[in-house]
Amino acid sequence: MNNPAPTQYPVIEVIKHRWSPRAFADKAVEPDKLRSLFEAARWAASSYNEQPWRYIIATKDYDAAYQKMLGCLVDANQAWAKAAPVLALTAISTQFKKNGKDNRVALHDLGAASAHLALEATRLGLIIHQMAGVELEKVKQQYGIPEGYEPQTAIAIGYPGEAESLPEGWMRDAEMADRGRLGFDEFVFAEGWGKASGLF
């Protein structure tokens, strides 16, 4: 299934086709493709080129490692993410290496890296679904996250599946629902906060 964004202005194809479904096909992701995803993440811009993002990955072919990661997701996410052949956890480095000061944009840069990853995934015919619903303390303990790093999110990665594979109810409905976004007047301002730009 795909659910392209009803864009009002032209954008590159992968932006139109990236989305976050929950139905995954029972199909492994080729290691070459996984490598490309992290290559894309690697080339995101970051403040002082500090690259504060970190990823921990688990694939279904190593069941113990996969179950350990799945167990770090909140139950509502486990319910659908268990079908994804690849899971990843993300973390940030909280201080700049260059001067030891807090990196207040580390989470911003992780977001940029993960957005790169998402678009590369779309190019490769894969889907990813990012999750804030993660047991962060569990991640810290189970993966020995060192001081100076903070776990943040998880990502399910795989090939698109059929909406019918999801349980009936909100999860399946969400998969079929129209996609929505704020209007430009709600997030692009000019002259003052909340003042719509005349660009649109």
Which residues are near ligand FMN by CB under 6 A? 19-20, 77, 130-133, 153, 179
Cβ-based nearer residue to ligand FMN, 28 or 115? 115
Q: Taking the CA of residue 157 as centre, how many other CA atoms within 13 Å lie in the half-sphere pointing to its CB? A: 31
First-to-last C-alpha distance (Å) of the chain: 31
Question: What Cα–Cα distance (Å) separates residue 28 from each residue in 11, 61, 85?
Answer: 30, 8, 6
- Residue 130 β-bridge partners: 155
- Specify the 3-state DSSP secondary structure of 157: strand
- Identity at 93, one-letter amino acid code: S
Nearer Cβ to ligand FMN (12/132):
132
Compute the least distance from the CB of residue 195 to ligand FMN, in Å.
26
- If the CB atoms of residues 29 and 121 are measured against ligand FMN, the closer one turns out to be 121
Minimum CB–partner distance for residue 162 and ligand FMN (Å): 17
**Shortest separation between residue 184's beta carbon and ligand FMN, angstroms:** 17
Please say which residue, 147 or 170, places its beta carbon nearer to ligand FMN: 170
Neighbours of 154 (CB within 10 A): 26
Shortest Cβ 179–ligand FMN spacing (Å): 6
